Amino acid sequence: MDDLTRRVDRMEGLLDEMKPLLARLDERLNHLATKADLSTTKGELLEKLAEKPGKGYLWTVLAVLVGAILASVAAGISLR
């Protein structure tokens, strides 16, 4: 029985040490994103990315600009 009392006392001491740690963890958990928050954010991000121009469009615009510059150089038009 003496061994059991010693073990219970030790366990109570460990629990007293853990209480402040658990309180700090509990405070931090309130500021973390939940699974629903992440899902909503992912959906919003995908919507915004869908509105952005694609690689094909950007390459086409670049080719048109380079073509226009080359045509103006060939025609002798100054860009100043």
pTM for the structure as a whole: 0.44
- Joined together, the tokens standing for residue 22 give 């658990």
Q: How many domains does the chain fold into? A: 1
Query: Which residue type does 51 have?
Result: E
- How many helices (H) does the chain have, and how many strands (E)? 3, 0
Per the CB < 8 A criterion, the answer to whether 72 and 79 are in contact is yes
**What stretches of 1-80 adopt beta strand conformation (E)?**
none
What does the pLDDT look like over 4-48, one tens digit per residue? 999 999 999 999 999 999 999 988 888 889 999 999 999 999 999
Q: Residue 14 is part of which domain span? A: 1-78
Query: Which residue type does 34 have?
Result: T
